[in-house]
Amino acid sequence: MVKFQQAQLDRTFSALSDPTRRALLARLEGEEALSVSELAQPFAMSLPAVMKHLDVLSHAGLITRTKTGRTVSCRLNADPMEEAMSWLARYQRFWTQRLDALEALLNERRRDPAPGEGGSGGA
């Protein structure tokens, strides 16, 4: 089970690493579904190139494709992104704790500077 989850996470991050794929997902975000040609329209690349990007997104589970007649439509599936966000949230907690500890240390040093580190100095 853990290996499957790790493989899914790898596919998700790999798919999201490309700006064109992120742009394709962004186009699908506010739509029920878009045809492949509608998705490809604003991009300065060939339809086969767009299809390759859609294959990666589909393999990662980030989109689903349905065919009606000759038209293939794509729909966003955000579930894998939720899993990625959960994974990232663990590290956010880690860094938040570390930064809070650093802030506490700095505040303590401001209140009680060590000898020779500021204060009223003498002589």
Q: Are 15 and 21 in contact (CB under 8 A)?
A: yes
Domains identified in the chain and CATH numbers: 2-79 (1.10.10.10)
Q: Where are the alpha helices (DSSP H) in 17-60?
A: 19-29, 36-40, 47-59
Here the tokens at position 55 are 């294959």
Can you name the residues that pair with 72 across neighbouring β-strands? 67
pLDDT of residue 93: 78
pLDDT of residue 123: 47
pLDDT tens for the 123 residues of the chain, in order: 556 568 889 999 999 999 999 999 999 998 999 999 999 999 999 999 999 999 999 999 999 999 999 999 999 999 999 988 888 888 777 788 878 888 888 888 888 876 766 655 554
What is the distance between the terminal CA atoms of the chain, rounded to a whole angstrom?
A: 69
